[in-house]
Amino acid sequence: MDLLEDPNEGGFTNLLLKQATSEAQSAASPASALQQRASRATRLLDKRNETLQVQGQLEAHKQQAQRHEQQLAQRELELRNKQAELHDSLLKFNKFLTDNDAKRSEAERKLVDNKKFLDQKDEEISQLRRMLEQLRADEQDKRRLLERHTKYQKFFESVLEKSDDYKEVKGLIERWMTLNKTQLTLQADAEAAGKRSEQHKAALQKYLADKANDVLAVNNTIAELQQQLESQLERSLQEEAVRDERAEQQVGKTLEYTQIRMAVENVYRRVCERCGQKFKKTSMFRQLDFVGAVMVDYQDIYNKGKRRLAAPDTARSGGTLQPSSSASGGAAAGV
């Protein structure tokens, strides 16, 4: 938007320029009016040309922004590739350390196992020696026992002579041992069956109690997880609303700043063109300083012209500069 020529947004400078133009037109000839209309047509053409130039610059900025985004995407891809390479290197190094730790642990474990094996063999040797001594002692006891039980052998032989059911003493003894073993086995089975029954009853009661406790604990856990889920959902909704609000504020500020900067740059460019100076890329504050300085110069020119118009006697004299129609048109065209 052209801030120098728009009557609604030109400000104090446009008001002064209109007053100067109106005063100059009241004292100018019909030829001056024609020149002013021609100047207005020229300004309209200048506006159209400047609009086309601005649109071309915007397209150039868009293309530059697209190229910049492509470069950023390429850099991001390169960074991701480097990050993947570093990750692979880290995994390989971690695997190397893990393998070394495993090998060291395996060696230490083998050393401990070998030491345990040697200790176990030493213990076995000691046990075998004690068993040998015990066997020797048992042999002596059995010899003495055999000597004492010889009378029983004679008794069994006398029984065999009188009975036809058994042919040898060994058979009689084996029959007795079988019956005695069967009796002991049946007694042991009965006792084991009673113990197993008691154990099964206790295990069943414990299982039922544990399952009841597990069901209660699972129900409590489900209730707690439900509460946590609801709180997490509420918190996530609040955080999403805050993020959306911040994003909208940031977008509004960015758009406002961009519009202000483009307007300032447009005014600065037009002032440079009017003043015949080359447009230079600089900061927004320096551009505003330059435009302010030009406005001050225009204000001084306007004040001087007004003072000259207010002094007709002085204007008629040949030694001073009279405000002619060509000068008024030139000032208007410059603005």
Residues contacting residue 298 through CB under 8 Å, at least 6 positions apart: 13, 17, 335
Average pLDDT over residues 257-281: 82
The dihedrals phi and psi of 321, each to the nearest 5 degrees, come to -85, 120
Average pLDDT over residues 39-44: 79
Q: Are 329 and 32 in contact (CB under 8 A)?
A: yes
Task: Say yes or no to pLDDT of 126 above 80.
Answer: yes
Q: What is the mean pLDDT of the chain?
A: 78
The pTM for the full model equals 0.25
Q: Are 332 and 40 in contact (CB under 8 A)?
A: no
The predicted-structure confidence for 277-286, as pLDDT tens digits, reads as follows: 777 777 888 8
| pLDDT cut 70: percent of the chain above it | 81
CA distance 159 to 164: 9
Least confident of 163-167, 203-207, 292-296: 163-167
Q: HSE, CB side, 13 Å, CA atoms: give it for residue 54.
A: 17
Nearest to 273 by CA among 96, 21, 46: 46
| pLDDT cut 90: percent of the chain above it | 3
Average pLDDT over residues 57-85: 88
Average pLDDT over residues 83-96: 87
pLDDT band for position 21 (cuts 50, 70, 90) = low
CA distance 285 to 264: 9
pLDDT in the model for residue 125: 92
Q: What per-residue string of b and e applies to 73-102 under the rule 16 or more CB within 10 Å gives b?
A: eeeeeeeeeeeeeeeeeeeeeeeeeeeeee
What is the amino acid identity at position 326? S
pLDDT band for position 22 (cuts 50, 70, 90) = low
Structure tokens given for 30 = 């019909």
Q: Are 1 and 262 in contact (CB under 8 A)?
A: no
CA distance 180 to 172: 12
